A = this chain, B = another copy of it.
Amino acid sequence: MNFEKIKQARYILEQTSHSLKVQALNAMADNLLSCKDSILKANALDLQNATHLSVAMRERLALNESKIELMAKSVQEIASLPNPLGQILKGWQSESGLRIEKVSVPIGVIGVIYESRPNVTSDSASLCFKSGNVCILKGGKEAKESNMSIAKILQDTLKKFSLPSECISVLQDYSRESVLEFIKQDKYIDLLIPRGGEGLISFISQNATIPTLKHDKGVCHLYIHKDSLLEEAIKIVINAKTQRPSTCNSIETLLIHKDIAPSLLPLLYSALKEKGTQIKASQGVQELLPERVEDLESEDFSKEYGDNILNIAIVEDLESAIEHINTYGSKHSEGILTRDIRSAEKFLNEIDASCVYLNASTRFSDGGEFGFGAEIGISTNKLHARGPVGLEGLVTYKYKIYGDWQVRG
């Protein structure tokens, strides 16, 4: 990495106007479309070398025309979002008569580390570019030809706008040593965004000296209180578990108040069966089901299945539900179904999670659903940005202080 050139690029990009960035992004989208063939050719090479990968991994890696069109569309959408920079977030006059403005500015240099999906290249590059940040992309080795081909198209577009190609940089050394060195460059890189599985995230957490915006695991819960509506509860459980079981905002465990379990469970059971959900049931739940299912073991409570598998357990009361969730949850998305205001507020206040839901599916934890437009991810950080993160997670602020020749007394 030529960090000197990256630093120069960063100062140029910070001073580039929003309208020029929008033009450049739209041109990037156009060029992705017009260079479809070269991207597909590069992708074919990756796939050719990827015979050792699983079918699922190959699917993530594989591009086709419509996937490239989606990539371009996403870049256009990012172009059309409001400018996150130069916003006066707060402003006031101090006692000494200084006018203080708290203004949003780029973070600087962002390292994005990801795995096999090539679309993350154009997504991350355009989110960073839009927010005035230089990015250094480090994709998966298995996608290197595809990623380089996409990055090259974006870099060529930058040049046409007289912007340094280092605004979108690529780390091309895929060795573990090189990555380890990369995540310790806190002198040059201001933020790391790892996008990938648990292994990647934990490797980075343990070794990076650069601050990290983590998207860690989602062990989410729904708790059905004794007074919940029945049919609506079943609809929400089905949505939260089966709509897209691989997502981090799908639930892993359903907790049911003991009073409502007898009327709810038989109905819920048939609904889940219809969706092919594999149930793991506690002893109390087993007794209320029409047939025996797999037993729920206590270690299941910590698992993120990423699959159509659901733990079901009965709790004595709201307090036990809260305690259970605060013990096993990953502080991502947690919901209660109830008609009672006091129980609802107790749950929403006492659960420690980035998103707490009353009478809605946890699947709504998403930048798009929140109305943020593009999403960088769902942060499991407690600092800086928490929950679904839009462009505003990619900016910081500075204080601009306007004096009239004051000194401190």
Chain A residues within 8 Å of B, Cβ to Cβ: 11, 14-15, 92, 94-96, 98, 100, 107-108, 186, 190-191, 205-206, 209, 211, 213, 229, 232, 235-236, 238-240, 243, 326, 337, 348-350, 352-361, 363-364, 366, 369-371, 381-384, 386-388, 396-408
Contacts and interface: CB of A to CB of B under 8 A. Distances in A.
Given A232-B405, A354-B398, 20 more contacts: A15-B349, A92-B371, A94-B364, A94-B370, A95-B371, A96-B369, A190-B382, A211-B382, A235-B407, A238-B407, A240-B407, A337-B405, A348-B400, A356-B398, A356-B401, A357-B401, A358-B400, A363-B408, A364-B403, A383-B396
Nearest to A359: B403
A100 B366 CA distance: 12
Given A383-B191, A386-B397, A402-B358, A408 B11 contact: no
Contacts of A357: 401, 403
Nearest to A401: B357
Nearest to A94: B371
Contacts of A240: 407
A402 to B, nearest CB: 5
Nearest to A387: B399
Number of copies: 2
A333 to B, nearest CB: 9
A364 B14 contact: no
Contact of A15 (B213, B350, B353): B350
Contact of A401 (B364, B371, B407): B364
Nearest to A355: B399
A352 B108 contact: yes
Most buried by B among A15, A229, A407: A407
Contact of A382 (B14, B107, B232): B107
Given A191-B382, A408-B243, A403 B358 contact: yes
B191 A364 contact: no
Given A15-B350, A98-B360, A232-B405, A382 B400 contact: no
Contacts of A407: 235-236, 238-240, 243, 360-361, 363
Contacts of A361: 403, 406-408
A81 to B, nearest CB: 16
A361 B98 CA distance: 10
A149 B363 CA distance: 50
